[in-house]
């Protein structure tokens, strides 16, 4: 557990320098195969030495000595912020994103930048201009995406915690495929300042770690209001440090329609088995909930993303940042741009975008109504296992289907986690847990209970 | 090797047409106001509270319904 590692660093039995050197050695050894890290900070060891001095002086922050890897759509001053694209291949961050400033203030050490699907457009990790990311937990399979490098780096032991972003499932999907814990915070809880947007009405900066403790620790650092992001709100009432509080007496929602949406029924069965264990071994109530239109989340999400992405990428015209995006991007990015342009045309007003906004509203209302009856809703993260790397999938809708269970949480703006609960055919499978907006701390407590339950610690 | 722009555009059009057709069945209780429904402000907060008074306070003084020029005020 990360808490034990922190204790060892604080007690001096392991120095920050030793830990960071260990990560760098692992990256040098394994990254050529896994390809989850695009850039390693050459000053990391020197930064670790400074942190060690702070630890000895008793002045170290919450993340002292921990190695952090960052998705390359989050700005880090002096680091390449490529978005996994040739378009921004040579772009160097000119400022620290709010989350990076907060991490540095707490003495977290930014080890480097991760690989990812180009401009966070993908669910597999195969869309990066710098090559696909291997899944360390299921060799030969995709790592998931779009935060492929962030999740794979944690799973491979290249860092303690990684940051990614989640707009439609981009942290929960790779967390599930790589067998680690991921959290999509409530929209508005973490500042997006410094995040290169995919869809600004849905984007969230999100942490991944091997355990719930690490995710909670990172949330404790990065959550909260920022004058740089008008959508953020204060988090004084959220206690991310108390994750052992349990969920006694809580109502757990299950949505029966999800079963029919699982293309691999073994995934649903695995989740159902954990849910039954929760019922048997924890003092919780299972409640069936109806969420109308949940089966239309993908059809709702993509038109919205196409439009917002088209709008957000107009700045990449090759004049100020990098190269012209239409000229140098990959197929999925171009598909979203051209689709967004098509939707944005005046003659289609009301036909696509307003229709999708209406559906978004309907799904949001349906989820809010479900939460009138329950405290949490549990479901799988993806409807199928990660496919094999290199498997030729020509229909984009087959890839979009990975997002079927993750996009509803983004459309509703609620918080959602992914906790590893099973292994099928050698592939980790995550359970997704949803909670109401700004109940992120409670969500992590529930995630911790599931983590302990699966490890038979309860 | 990337597909041609025309081919990708046709794919995108096919997808959004198909998705739009699927969404035609969606009904919501109230007519949608796309500008406000996503607001992160708390439901109890009234963003327009005091706005009218504030606007009137800042509005130039009038005489017989006509705005008066302010002299030496600025």
Looking at this predicted complex, what is its ipTM?
A: 0.90
∠ CA A344-A349-A295 to the nearest 5 degrees? 90
Number of domains within chain A: 1
Q: Which of A15, A75, A82, A170 is catalytic?
A: A170
Sheet holding A109-114: strands in order across?
A37-40, A109-114, A67-70, A161-165, A205-209, A181-184, A415-424, A427-435, A376-380, A251-254, A285-288
Distance CA A248, CA A250 (A): 6
b (16+ CB within 10 A) / e for A147-161: bbbbbbbbbbebbbb
CATH number at residue A17: 3.90.1300.10
The mean pLDDT value for A63-92 works out to: 97
Q: How far is CA B22 from CA A175, A261, A300, A315, A343, in A?
A: 30, 16, 9, 32, 16
Active site residue A146: yes
Residue of A383, A386, A381, A382 whose CA lies nearest to A447 = A381
Does A143 or A349 have the greater pLDDT score? A143
Can you spell out the DSSP letters for A326-378? HHH--HHHHHHHHHHHHHHSGGGTTTSHHHHHHHHHHHHHHHHHHTTT-SEEE
How close is the nearest chain A Cα to the Cα of B54, in Å? 22
pLDDT tens-digit profile of A198-222? Answer: 899 999 999 999 999 999 999 999 9
User: What integer pLDDT is reported at residue B45 of this predicted model?
Assistant: 58
Residues of chain A with Cβ-Cβ distance to B20 below 8 Å are 299, 303, 351-352, 355-356
In a domain, A263, yes or no: no
Q: For residues A36-42, give the mean pLDDT.
A: 98
- The answer to the question of residue A130 being in a domain is yes
Q: Please check the confidence at residue B71 and state whether its pLDDT lies above 70.
A: no
CA distance B71 to B74: 8
Task: Give me the pLDDT at residue A233, please.
Answer: 86
Supply the range of the domain harboring residue A132: 2-222
- The model's pLDDT over A398-416, given as tens digits with 9 standing for 90+, comes to 999 999 999 999 999 999 9
**Residue A153 domain-assigned?**
yes
Predicted confidence (pLDDT) at residue B34 exceeds the cutoff of 50: no
With the CA atoms of A117, A430, A404 and B43 taken in that order, what torsion angle do they form, in degrees rounded to the nearest 10? -100
**pLDDT > 60? residue A135:** yes
Asked about A170 being catalytic, the answer comes back as yes
Does residue A276 lie in a domain region? Answer: no
CB proximity A358 to B under 8 Å: yes
Residues on chain B touching A356 (C-beta within 8 angstroms): 19-20, 23
Residue of A233, A302, A361 with shortest CB distance to B19:
A302
Would residue A122 count as lying in a domain?
yes
| pLDDT score, position A204 | 98
Specify if A148 maps to a domain: yes
Q: Which is more confident, B29 or A347?
A: B29
Nearest CA distance, A175 vs chain B (angstrom): 27
A422 domain-assigned:
no
**Nearest CA-CA distance, residue B46 and chain A, Å:** 16
How would residue B47 be classed by pLDDT, with cut points 50, 70 and 90? low
Whole-prediction pTM value? Answer: 0.91
Residue A307 located in a structural domain: no
How far apart (Å, rounded) are the C-alpha atoms in residues A196 and A266?
37
Catalytic-role residue among A15, A71, A148, A191? A71
Indicate if the pLDDT at residue B32 is higher than 60.
no
pLDDT digits (tens, 9 = 90+) for A109-118: 999 999 999 9
């Amino acid at each position: 557990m990360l808490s034990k590692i922190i204790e060892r660093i604080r007690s001096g039995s392991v120095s920050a320098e030793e830990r960071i050197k260990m990560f760098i050695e692992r990256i040098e050894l394994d990254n050529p195969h896994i390809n989850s890290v695009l850039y390693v900070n050459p000053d990391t060891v020197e930064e670790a030495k400074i942190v060690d001095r702070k630890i000895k002086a008793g002045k170290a922050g919450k993340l002292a000595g921990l190695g952090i890897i960052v998705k390359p759509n989050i700005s880090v001053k002096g680091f390449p912020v490529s978005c996994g694209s040739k378009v921004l291949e040579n772009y160097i961050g000119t400022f620290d994103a709010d989350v990076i400033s907060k991490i540095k203030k707490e003495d977290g050490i930014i080890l480097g930048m991760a690989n990812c699907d180009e401009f966070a457009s993908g669910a597999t990790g195969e869309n990066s201009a710098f090559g696909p990311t291997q899944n360390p937990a299921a060799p030969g399979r995709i790592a998931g995406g779009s935060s492929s490098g962030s999740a794979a780096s944690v799973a491979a032991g290249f860092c303690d915690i990684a940051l990614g972003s989640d707009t439609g499932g981009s942290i929960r999907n790779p967390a599930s495929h790589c067998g680690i814990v991921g959290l999509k915070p409530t929209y508005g809880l973490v500042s997006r300042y410094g995040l290169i947007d995919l869809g600004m009405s849905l984007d969230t900066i999100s942490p991944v770690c091997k355990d719930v403790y690490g995710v909670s620790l990172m949330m404790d650092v990065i959550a909260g209001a920022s004058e740089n992001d008008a959508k953020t709100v204060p988090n004084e009432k959220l206690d991310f440090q108390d994750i052992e509080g349990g969920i006694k007496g809580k109502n757990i929602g299950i949505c029966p329609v999800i079963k029919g949406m699982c293309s691999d029924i073994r995934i649903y069965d695995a989740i159902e088995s954990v849910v039954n264990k929760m019922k048997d071994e924890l003092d919780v109530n299972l409640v069936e909930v109806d969420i109308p239109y949940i089966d239309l989340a993908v059809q709702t999400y993509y038109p919205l993303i196409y439009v917002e992405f088209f709008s957000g990428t107009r700045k990449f015209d090759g004049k100020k940042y990098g190269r012209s995006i239409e000229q140098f991007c990959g197929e999925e990015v171009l598909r979203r741009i051209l689709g967004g342009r098509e939707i944005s045309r005046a003659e289609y007003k009301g036909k696509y975008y307003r229709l999708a906004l209406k559906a978004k509203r309907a799904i949001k209302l349906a989820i809010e109504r479900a939460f009138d009856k329950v405290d949490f809703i549990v479901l799988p993260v993806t409807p199928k296992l990660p496919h094999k790397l290199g498997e030729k999938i020509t229909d984009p809708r087959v890839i979009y289907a990975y997002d079927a269970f993750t996009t509803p949480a983004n459309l509703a703006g609620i918080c959602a986690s992914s906790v590893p609960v099973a292994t099928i055919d050698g592939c980790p499978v995550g359970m997704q847990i949803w909670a109401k907006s700004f109940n992120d701390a409670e969500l992590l407590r529930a995630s911790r209970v599931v983590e302990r339950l699966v490890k038979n610690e309860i | 090797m990337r597909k041609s722009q025309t081919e990708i555009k046709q794919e995108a059009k096919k997808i959004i047409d198909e998705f739009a057709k699927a969404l035609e069945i969606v009904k919501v209780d109230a007519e949608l106001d796309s500008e406000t429904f996503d607001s992160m402000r708390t439901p109890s907060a009234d963003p327009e509270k005091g706005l009218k008074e504030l606007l009137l306070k800042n509005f130039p003084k009038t005489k017989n319904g006509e705005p008066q020029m302010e002299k030496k005020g600025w």
